[in-house]
């Protein structure tokens, strides 16, 4: 079945820095890739998504890049703030499936 690998597992940066979170998947039938953020003590929050017919999507300081050939995604966060500190999860779902497969998460810490 589908496997999703996410790297790095943790990142510590200074406020204002940019970060890159990478995600790779194995199932070429995967068509939809939502990303979630989980702040301490809070519920998972949807932040951005991309479909397999797109290469790039931007939402304010978030940019999501998708490479179908290499089965790779990367989430770029610019001008980080302490409020961005959270665990970030990538996920993938295949066409016709309801099962979302998650990566193991990236713990981002932004130091003021």
Partner 1 sequence: GGIITQTPKFLIGQEGQKLTLKCQQNFNHDTMYWYRQDSGKGLRLIYYSITENDLQKGDLSEGYDASREKKSSFSLTVTSAQKNEMAVFLCASSIEGDTQYFGPGTRLLVL
Rule CB under 8 A: which residues touch partner 1?
1, 4, 6, 9, 32, 34, 36, 42-46, 49, 89, 91, 93, 96-100, 102-105
Q: How far is the CB of 13 from partner 1 (least distance, A)?
A: 21
Secondary structure (H, E, C), the chain: CCCEEEECCEEEEECCCCEEEEEEECCCCEEEEEEEEECCCCCCEEEEEEECCCCEEEECCEEEEEECCCCEEEEEECCCCHHHCEEEEEEEEECCCCCCEECCCEEEEEEC
Residue (98 or 112) nearer to partner 1, CB: 98
Report the C-alpha gap between 29 and 20 in whole angstroms: 25
Identity of the residue, 14 or 53, whose beta carbon is nearer to partner 1 in the bound complex: 53
Q: How far is the CB of 18 from partner 1 (least distance, A)?
A: 24
Q: Which is nearer to partner 1, 19 or 88 (CB)?
A: 88
Residue nearer to partner 1 on the CB measure, 17 or 87: 87
């Amino acid at each position: 079945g589908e496997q999703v690998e996410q790297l790095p597992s943790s990142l510590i940066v200074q406020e204002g820095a940019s970060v890159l979170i990478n995600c790779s998947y194995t199932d070429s039938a995967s068509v939809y890739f939502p990303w979630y953020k989980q702040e301490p003590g809070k519920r998972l929050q949807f932040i951005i998504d991309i479909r397999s017919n797109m290469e790039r999507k931007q939402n304010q300081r978030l940019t999501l890049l998708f490479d179908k050939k290499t089965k790779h995604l990367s989430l770029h966060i610019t001008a980080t703030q302490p409020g961005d500190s959270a665990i970030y999860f990538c996920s993938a779902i295949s066409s016709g499936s309801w099962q979302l497969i998650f990566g193991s998460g990236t713990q981002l810490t932004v130091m003021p």
